[in-house]
Structure formats: structure tokens, C-alpha cells
């Protein structure tokens, strides 16, 4: 196991751990005593019908979800709802390469799929928390992948779904983009086949990875309008070096790679013999598909094609020149659009 103080209660807590037991993986292999790290906000009501699940995105934890999406008066209001944020497997808090004992940890950590996460989360919600339905599943990016998987796989369990800035079946384009992220890391000699001593050994690769996020994560309009400077950086160089590189630098490379592998292969049609229309046709949740206008990972046009396959769903594109990384919460106008959509969706009858 590798000790990395980034993944700690100090920085990301409070969160709890729940052992869902041995998790048999879709790709083969098992995570023994698979732990899910989760944080809850608000109180479950007597009818147990006010629970909301929020799975995490690539590199994110329950903490950024809390900071960006949850709050009194917000769409995800802990005064009204019981909100459960579950960290995805491989994100450094739940079972992940560096916190898994040898011989299954680090470079030997097995390939995990979105479906594995969702089955593990289902165990947590049913066995530990005692739920039999969710008022809403909402998530951004890889959180949207998990949202779609939930809505397809447990179609009676999920009353409403709000996939934000993500797809049900990852595109070929996004697959190759994500591969460039992974290769930015693995091409660093310091990565050493996953057997590095600390993230600092892979600093050059992590910086290249951060530059790719800079290029694809925001938008050309964001930079033309000087929004990076409005965030307090006096140059593009400072924005890349301080903000983007600084954000990813402390993270564990094997964690990022585990999540990237999963991200590349998100695909609900695995439930229906590669028939995407059939998979999305299973969804019973009232669904709002919520892409971000300037998102270069999951552009609205890719999301709309899927939305049309979901019975009774609505296409709710949101506008932000922050692009995909608008998810980080730097654009208040985007957050207002998220809240407005979630308020409307939560007010609508579920299924």
C-alpha cells in the first residue's frame, strides 16, 4: 500500500467506509472486502422516499460534490433530502490501487467497470442504508455514466435520473481522448509500470495530463474571454502550472488510470447485448439529460442522440463557456441552471 495524505479524512472527510464484501468484477477477478467511502447529508424520512444518490466523477471525491452541488436552498438541499455521495471505486477513498493490500493493489489492481460500481453501490444502499428506491440519481461526467447505469440496471429502483455532462455509452472520440490522458501518465519513466514510490515520481506525466485537461476540459471561448484570469491567474502559464497542475499533482497515478480505464468503457448497452436503444428503452426514471454547451468531452450533440432513446425524457442543455470543467463549480450561472433543472425534476412525479 502507498501512503498518500491527499486521500484522507482531513482533506475529504467526513466520510464513512462500508465493506460490501467481495466484489466479483465484470472483467474477472475480485476486490476482496471492497470498501465504499460515502458521505451523507440530511435525514432519511420515515417513508424512505427522499433519498438521492450522487456518484463521483473522475478524480473527484464526496468533498467536491458537497462543495459544488449540495446546500441549503440548492437543488440538492439537505433540509429536504437524504443525500448519499458515494466515491467511485478507484478514486482513492473507496477501494483503490494504493489502499488495497498486496498482491491486489497498485499496478495489480483489477479493471473495474461502471457496472461494478453500481452493483456495489446497490449493496450499500439496500443492505447498509435500507433503501428500496431512490428519488433521484444525479451525477456529472463519470457520475453521469453511473447514473445511466443505475437507471438501466435498476430501473424500478430509480425514480428520477439526471445525468450531467456525460453519456450512457462512451463515444469512440472520447475513448481516444481518455487514452491520451492515460498515456500522458504511463509514458513518464517515473511511472515505472505503476511501481512508483509516490505521485511526485510521476510529476512530469501528471503535468502533461493536466495540460490535456486544460485544452479539452474548458473551451476556447473560456480562454478568449479571459475567464482563467478572472479566476485569479495572471497568465495562461500560471493557470496551467498552479491551478490545473496543482489540482492533479497530489493524486495517485494508478487511481487516475483505474478511473480512466473505467471511463473509456462506460456503456449501458452491455446490459442488452450491445443494443443501446434497448438499454435506454428500459429506463423508467423520469430523466433529464443535462449536457453543458461547451463540453468537448461529452458535447450536447452526443448526449441528445441518447436522450431521444429514453422514454419520456427531456433534453436540458445548459450553457457555460467553462465546458466540461464547469462541473468544478467555477461558473455560478451553470450551477443555477443545474439547480433549476433539479428542482423541476424533483417536483415532477417520479415513476
The one catalytic residue among 122, 228, 294, 324: 324
Which x/- pattern, by CB under 8 A, does the window 244-283 give for its own copies?
Answer: ----------------------------------------
CA separation for the pair 192, 21 (Å, rounded): 31
For the chain, give the number of residues. Answer: 351
Closest distance of CB 246 from its own copies, Å: 16
306 forms part of the interface with its own copies (CB under 8 A): no
- Told to judge if 235 belongs to the known catalytic residues of this protein, a careful annotator would answer no
User: Which residue, 56 or 178, has its beta carbon nearer to its own copies?
Assistant: 178
Angle at 206 between CA 238 and CA 200, to 5 degrees: 100
Which x/- pattern, by CB under 8 A, does the window 190-209 give for its own copies?
Answer: --------------xx--x-
User: Which residue, 66 or 267, has its beta carbon nearer to its own copies?
Assistant: 267
By CB under 8 A, how many residues form the interface with its own copies?
36
Closest distance of CB 327 from its own copies, Å: 18
Q: Which residues contact 183 (CB under 8 A, 6 or more apart)?
A: none
- Told to judge if 111 belongs to the known catalytic residues of this protein, a careful annotator would answer no
Closest distance of CB 218 from its own copies, Å: 8
Q: Which residue has the cell 488495497?
A: 100
211 forms part of the interface with its own copies (CB under 8 A): yes
Which residues, listed in sequence order, are joined to residue 314 by a DSSP beta bridge? 288
Longest pairwise C-alpha distance within the chain: 55
Closest distance of CB 194 from its own copies, Å: 17
Task: Indicate which single residue of 180, 198, 269, 351 sits in contact with its own copies (rule: CB under 8 A).
Answer: 180
The one catalytic residue among 59, 95, 96, 141: 141
135 forms part of the interface with its own copies (CB under 8 A): no
Grid coordinates standing for 269?
Answer: 448497452
Task: Indicate which single residue of 12, 299, 307, 341 sits in contact with its own copies (rule: CB under 8 A).
Answer: 299
126 near 275, Cβ under 8 Å? no
220 forms part of the interface with its own copies (CB under 8 A): yes
- Told to judge if 252 belongs to the known catalytic residues of this protein, a careful annotator would answer no
97 forms part of the interface with its own copies (CB under 8 A): no
The one catalytic residue among 117, 295, 302, 331: 295
Q: Which residues contact 158 (CB under 8 A, 6 or more apart)?
A: 133, 134, 136, 137, 150, 151, 284, 285
169 forms part of the interface with its own copies (CB under 8 A): no
Q: Which residue has the cell 438501466?
A: 152
Grid coordinates standing for 307?
Answer: 436522450
Buried b (16+ CB within 10 A) or exposed e, 234-246: eeeeebbbebbbe
Angle at 84 between CA 289 and CA 41, to 5 degrees: 115
309 forms part of the interface with its own copies (CB under 8 A): no
Q: Which residues contact 315 (CB under 8 A, 6 or more apart)?
A: 289, 303, 304, 307, 308
- Residues identified as active-site: 141, 295, 324
Return residues touching its own copies (CB under 8 A).
171-177, 179-180, 183, 187-189, 204-205, 208, 211-212, 214-216, 218-224, 228, 236, 240, 296, 299, 301-302, 305
Amino acid at each position: 500500500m502507498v501512503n498518500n495524505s491527499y486521500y484522507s479524512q482531513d482533506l475529504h472527510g467526513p466520510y464513512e467506509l462500508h465493506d460490501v464484501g467481495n466484489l466479483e468484477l465484470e472483467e474477472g477477478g475480485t476486490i476482496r472486502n471492497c470498501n465504499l467511502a460515502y458521505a451523507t447529508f440530511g435525514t432519511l424520512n420515515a417513508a424512505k422516499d427522499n433519498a438521492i444518490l450522487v456518484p463521483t466523477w473522475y478524480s473527484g471525491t464526496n468533498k467536491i460534490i458537497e462543495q459544488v452541488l449540495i446546500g441549503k436552498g440548492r437543488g440538492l438541499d439537505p433540509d429536504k433530502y437524504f443525500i448519499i455521495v458515494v466515491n467511485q471505486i478507484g478514486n482513492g477513498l473507496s477501494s483503490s490501487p494504493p489502499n488495497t493490500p498486496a498482491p491486489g493493489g497498485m499496478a495489480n489492481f483489477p479493471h473495474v467497470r461502471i457496472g461494478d460500481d453500481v452493483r456495489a453501490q446497490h449493496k450499500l444502499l439496500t443492505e447498509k442504508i435500507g433503501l428500496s428506491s431512490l428519488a433521484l440519481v444525479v451525477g456529472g461526467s463519470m457520475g453521469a455514466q453511473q447514473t445511466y447505469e443505475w437507471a438501466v440496471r435498476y430501473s424500478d429502483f430509480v425514480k428520477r435520473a439526471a445525468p450531467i455532462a456525460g453519456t450512457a455509452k462512451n463515444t469512440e472520440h472520447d475513448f481516444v481522448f481518455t487514452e491520451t490522458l492515460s498515456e500522458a501518465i504511463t509514458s513518464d519513466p517515473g511511472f515505472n509500470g505503476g511501481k512508483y514510490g509516490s505521485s511526485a515520481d510521476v510529476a512530469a506525466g501528471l503535468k502533461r495530463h493536466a495540460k490535456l485537461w486544460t485544452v479539452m476540459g474548458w473551451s476556447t471561448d473560456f480562454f478568449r474571454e479571459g475567464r482563467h484570469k478572472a479566476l485569479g491567474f495572471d497568465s495562461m502559464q500560471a493557470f496551467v502550472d498552479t491551478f490545473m497542475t496543482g489540482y492533479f499533482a497530489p493524486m495517485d497515478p494508478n487511481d487516475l488510470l483505474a478511473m480512466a480505464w473505467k471511463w473509456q468503457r462506460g456503456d449501458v448497452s452491455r446490459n442488452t447485448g450491445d443494443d443501446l436503444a434497448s438499454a435506454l428503452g428500459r429506463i423508467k426514471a423520469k430523466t433529464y439529460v443535462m449536457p453543458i454547451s461547451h463540453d468537448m468531452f461529452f458535447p450536447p450533440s452526443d448526449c441528445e442522440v441518447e436522450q431521444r432513446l429514453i422514454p419520456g425524457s427531456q433534453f436540458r442543455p445548459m450553457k457555460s463557456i467553462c465546458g466540461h470543467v464547469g462541473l468544478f463549480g467555477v461558473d455560478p450561472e451553470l450551477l443555477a441552471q443545474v439547480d433549476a433543472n433539479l428542482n423541476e425534476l424533483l417536483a415532477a412525479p417520479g415513476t
